[in-house]
């Protein structure tokens, strides 16, 4: 039986509205597969009689394998946001690989996938349709997850020590709010800056600077969602920006609206 994960999801923009449109569930993989995969996720929606809904996500430094009928693909990290159109009724099943966890399957720099996707066949040497049919023929979540886990378990690459090493660094960046620039990560990990950049290009697909900035923007969005935003200047400095204007420009370039506009829409929605 696959246990659900306890960690709250982060990166879903305007989550109050999203909660009325879809249900997101996440499940832990087996220990063997968990070396490579962070968790499985399932999104279900029923919008029959309603207008289609587009959910935007402030992405993470993870590769995702997403099973959809006739649309299964492997998605690299999106440098800005990703959006998903939900309409009628349906569900999708995804595997969120750990940062670095997809490299042993691909065996080439994961940066090749950044802002793009590749077919199931390119990695696994077969069309996805037979597995799709088995997954979406299931009426319950557990058999669908078990089928995916069996498939992946039969095709696991040899463990790569760099996967754990890179994943630990990314986790440290995520959890330590004092890391606001690459030099902070270098100082705390003891890894030379150029080495760190090469590892992230090959295993994660984006730079250490991108990962740091993305997790700090996740924190900003979380504070906005909970209505606990300090003054913008203080927040900007806490997130590692030189001044408020740099933070606002970065936020707008990735999310779209300014921080104030985002907060206004979130709390009125």
Per-residue pLDDT of the chain (269 residues; tens, 9 = 90+): 566 776 777 889 888 899 999 999 999 999 999 999 999 999 999 999 999 999 999 999 999 999 999 999 999 999 999 999 999 999 999 999 999 999 999 999 999 999 999 999 999 999 999 999 999 999 899 999 999 999 999 999 998 999 999 999 999 999 988 898 999 999 988 999 999 999 999 999 999 999 998 998 888 888 888 776 667 888 888 888 878 888 888 888 888 888 888 888 766 65
Q: Which tokens is 6 given?
A: 């306890």
What number of residues does the chain have? Answer: 269
Dihedral (Cα; 106, 110, 113, 115), 10-degree rounding: 160
Q: What is the pLDDT of residue 108?
A: 97
**According to the model, what pLDDT value does residue 250 have?**
87
Which residues lie closer than 8 Å to 211 by C-beta, 6 or more apart? 61, 99, 170, 173, 200, 204
Helix (H) / strand (E) containing 145: helix 141-153
CB atoms within 10 A of CB 250: 18
Q: Tokens standing for 65?
A: 């394998």
Nearest one of 209, 169, 221, 212 to 12, comparing CA atoms: 221
pTM value is: 0.92
Which residues on neighbouring strands pair with residue 66, listed in sequence order? Answer: 73, 94
Place of tokens 């959809």: 68
Ranges assigned E (strand) in the chain: 22-27, 37-46, 53-58, 64-67, 73-75, 81-86, 89-97, 117-119
């Amino acid at each position: 039986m696959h246990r659900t994960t306890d960690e709250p999801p982060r990166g879903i923009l305007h989550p109050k509205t999203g909660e009325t449109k879809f249900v997101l569930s996440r499940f832990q993989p087996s220990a063997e597969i968990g070396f490579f995969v962070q968790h499985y996720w399932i999104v279900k929606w029923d919008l029959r009689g309603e207008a289609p809904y587009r959910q935007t996500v402030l992405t993470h430094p993870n590769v995702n394998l997403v099973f959809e009928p006739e649309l299964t693909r492997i998605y690299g990290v999106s440098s800005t946001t990703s959006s998903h159109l939900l309409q009628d009724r349906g569900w999708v099943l995804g595997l969120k690989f750990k940062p670095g966890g997809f490299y042993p399957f691909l065996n080439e720099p994961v940066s090749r996938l950044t802002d793009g996707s590749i077919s199931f066949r390119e990695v696994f040497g077969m069309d996805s349709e037979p597995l799709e049919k088995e997954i979406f023929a299931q009426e319950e979540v557990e058999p669908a997850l078990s089928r995916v886990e069996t498939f992946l378990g039969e095709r696991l690459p040899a463990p790569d020590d760099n996967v754990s090493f890179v994943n630990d660094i990314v986790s440290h960046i995520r959890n330590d709010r004092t890391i606001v620039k690459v030099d902070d990560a270098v100082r705390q990990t003891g890894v030379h800056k150029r080495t760190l950049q090469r590892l992230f290009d090959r295993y994660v697909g984006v730079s250490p600077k991108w990962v740091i900035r993305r997790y700090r923007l996740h924190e900003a969005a979380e504070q906005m969602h909970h209505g606990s935003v300090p003054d913008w200047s203080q927040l900007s400095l806490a997130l590692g920006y030189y001044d408020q204007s740099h933070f606002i420009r970065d936020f707008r370039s990735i999310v779209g609206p300014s921080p104030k506009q985002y907060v206004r829409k979130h709390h009125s929605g």
